[in-house]
Amino acid sequence: MILQKYKIVFGGSMGSGKSSAIQSLSDIPVISTEAINTDLKSHQKALTTVGIDYGEVILEDESTIGLYGTPGQERFNFMWPILCRGAIGSIILIDHSKPDRLKDLEFYIQNFKNYTNNLVIGISHTDLYQEQLLKIYRDYMQLHHCYYPIFIVDAREKTDILMLVETLIANIEIELIA
């Protein structure tokens, strides 16, 4: 049985970098449930998560933060509330190269805000499509009264993913002070 003090859930669209983010940050070998992608209409990647990705960050006091990656396909949404139970927050990754990126943003915010108030958004794959970058997301969030931290990230870069995790933790600290 996996035990940890803290838990963070990674959600977001297929191919947005959830598995890569956990791989880049985990201090242990990642437990992965990737299988051959049969939904090539949604994304052209060869493998996709069909269960849970799991990694851990080990803190100085030897407690751990469990990193849980959800499948991105809507048909697996029954798993999201189960995984989010007890989480300190969720990181939502959105693939900027997808034409439906704003629909993805809306879909994942609407779903994951039901499970946690502590959300941080990471926009990935900006190297593939650089038009407007964060402006379109900030405009969307302002229009829909969503006020979540949002960052451009490369899911393969530990420092980028660590920034998202640190932002989740800072949000908790701010809430405790308020």
Cβ contact 4:61 at 8 Å: no
Evaluate whether 87 touches 28 at the Cβ level (below 8 Å): no
Query: For residue 125, which phi and psi values (nearest 5 degrees)?
Result: 60, 35
Q: Residue ranges of the domains in the chain?
A: 6-177
Check if the beta carbon of residue 140 is closer than 8 Å to that of residue 112: no
Among 57-61, 94-98, 125-129, name the one with the lowest average pLDDT: 125-129
Confidence at residue 49, expressed as pLDDT on a 0 to 100 scale: 54
68, 9 contact by CB (below 8 A) = yes
Superfamily of domain 6-177: P-loop containing nucleotide triphosphate hydrolases (3.40.50.300)
pLDDT greater at residue 42 or residue 163: 163
| Higher pLDDT among residues 20 and 2, named by residue | 20
pTM to 2 decimal places = 0.86
In this predicted structure, what is the pLDDT of residue 62? 83
HSE toward the beta carbon, residue 138, CA cutoff 13 A: 8
